[in-house]
């Protein structure tokens, strides 16, 4: 349960991070964060512990030897007001999410085990493993392209690959959203973020 995800807001209530429950409770206990309830009320550790005494049976509860505590879903930091740069880790899982489990050459949506990660400019021709040079490809398209450049095999990508925004990954892929209560903060950040040209 301590590895459960908690959404972290900065002092201005912008979604900036996702942390685990253990870290969230530590921030709460140290007075560095407050719990944000469904009605947008905030609670420090002591007031959250008091409120937890009246918890319903359907709520997630942590039981300690001396008290019980409702598992918080969202916390707001009390001091930190910046928006740290958010980078999505360059990983196989995140490439699959970015490309929506879809071949970027033919548009076929396939099971995970029928897709491969292809380098647009092949490594044998100097291509590197970066967001802007890798896409998902079905087995047929990957075999057709092989170690050649796209223009050599008269192929193209459906959507040019780019580094994804962390909020876009959270917003578009529900497995990352641990609770409905996150959506109101993620939607707000999604609509207010400056778009690049």
Q: Which residue has the higher pLDDT, 33 or 16?
A: 33
With a cut of 60, say whether residue 151 has pLDDT above it: yes
Q: What is the mean predicted confidence (pLDDT) over 149-167?
A: 88
How confident is the model at residue 23, as a pLDDT? 94
Q: What is the pLDDT of residue 85?
A: 64
> Residue 46 pLDDT > 90, yes or no?
yes
Q: What is the mean pLDDT of the chain?
A: 84
What's the whole-model pTM score? 0.53
What is the rounded CA–CA span in Å between residue 146 and residue 141?
A: 8
pLDDT confidence bin for 58, thresholds 50/70/90? low
> What percentage of the chain reaches a pLDDT higher than 70?
83
Residues 184 and 197: their CA atoms lie apart, in Å, by 26
Q: What domains can be seen in the chain, in order of their start residue?
A: 5-85+167-192 (no CATH), 92-152 (1.10.30.50)
Q: Is 10 left (phi over 0), alpha (psi -120 to 50) or beta?
A: beta
- Virtual CA dihedral for 163, 169, 171, 173, nearest 10 degrees? 140
Strand bridging mode 74-77 / 115-119: unpaired
Pairing relation of β-strands 61-63 and 68-70? antiparallel
Q: What's the distance, CA 44 to chain centroid?
A: 26
Q: Is residue 180 pLDDT above 90, yes or no?
A: no
Rounded to whole angstroms, the Cα distance separating 144 from 20 reads: 43
Q: What is the mean pLDDT of residues 34-62?
A: 89
What are the Cα distances from residue 50, in Å, to 25, 42, 44, 117, 146? 15, 13, 10, 51, 63
- Show the tokens assigned to 105: 């050459």
């Amino acid at each position: 349960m301590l590895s459960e995800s908690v959404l972290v807001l900065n002092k201005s209530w912008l979604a900036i991070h996702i942390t685990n429950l253990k870290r969230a409770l530590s921030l709460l206990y140290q007075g560095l964060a407050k719990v944000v309830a469904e009605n947008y009320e905030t609670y420090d550790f002591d007031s959250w512990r008091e409120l937890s005494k009246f918890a319903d049976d359907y709520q997630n509860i942590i039981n300690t030897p001396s008290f019980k505590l409702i598992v918080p879903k969202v916390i707001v930091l009390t001091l930190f007001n910046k928006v740290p740069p958010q980078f999505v880790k360059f990983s196989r899982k995140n490439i699959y999410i970015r490309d929506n489990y879809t071949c970027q050459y033919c548009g076929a949506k396939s099971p995970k085990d029928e897709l491969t990660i292809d380098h647009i400019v092949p490594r044998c021709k100097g291509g590197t493993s970066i967001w802007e040079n890798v896409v998902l490809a079905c087995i047929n398209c990957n075999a057709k392209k092989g170690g050649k450049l796209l223009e050599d095999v008269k192929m193209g990508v459906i959507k040019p690959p780019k580094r994804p925004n962390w909020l876009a990954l959270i917003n578009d892929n529900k497995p990352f959203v641990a609770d409905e209560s996150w959506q109101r903060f993620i939607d707000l950040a999604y609509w207010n973020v400056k778009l690049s040209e």
